[in-house]
């Protein structure tokens, strides 16, 4: 899976290098909108969501995870 992920990011990085400044701004704006959408979605569902990094550290969570775990988690 790590190889697939690396390959994906290598392809994206190669394409980003080919974009002009307007194209890059468009891509960044689109990624920001998608991130905001997903964050809003995960914050509104009742299920607890934890995102862990490669070292099994919490890199993101929603409010439901805080309530379900009974801990005041700091968002990374």
Domain residues of the chain, as ranges?
Answer: 1-44, 46-76
User: For position 14, what pLDDT does the model report?
Assistant: 74
Rounded average pLDDT per 10-residue block, the chain, 76 residues: 64 75 83 90 91 91 89 63
According to DSSP, residue 75 is labeled: P
At 59 the pLDDT is 87
User: Contact, 45 vs 65, CB < 8 A?
Assistant: no
Bridge partners of 51, per DSSP, are 60
Distances (CA, A) of 3 to 15, 39, 59, 64, 74: 18, 27, 21, 33, 31
Which backbone phi and psi does 60 adopt, to 5 degrees?
A: -160, 150
């Amino acid at each position: 899976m790590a190889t697939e992920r690396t390959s994906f990011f290598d392809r994206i990085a190669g394409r980003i290098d080919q974009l002009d400044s307007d194209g890059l701004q468009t891509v960044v704006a689109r990624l920001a909108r998608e991130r905001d959408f997903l964050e809003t979605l995960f914050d509104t569902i009742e299920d607890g969501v934890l995102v862990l990094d490669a070292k099994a550290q919490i890199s993101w969570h929603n409010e439901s995870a805080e309530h379900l775990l009974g801990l005041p988690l700091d968002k990374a």
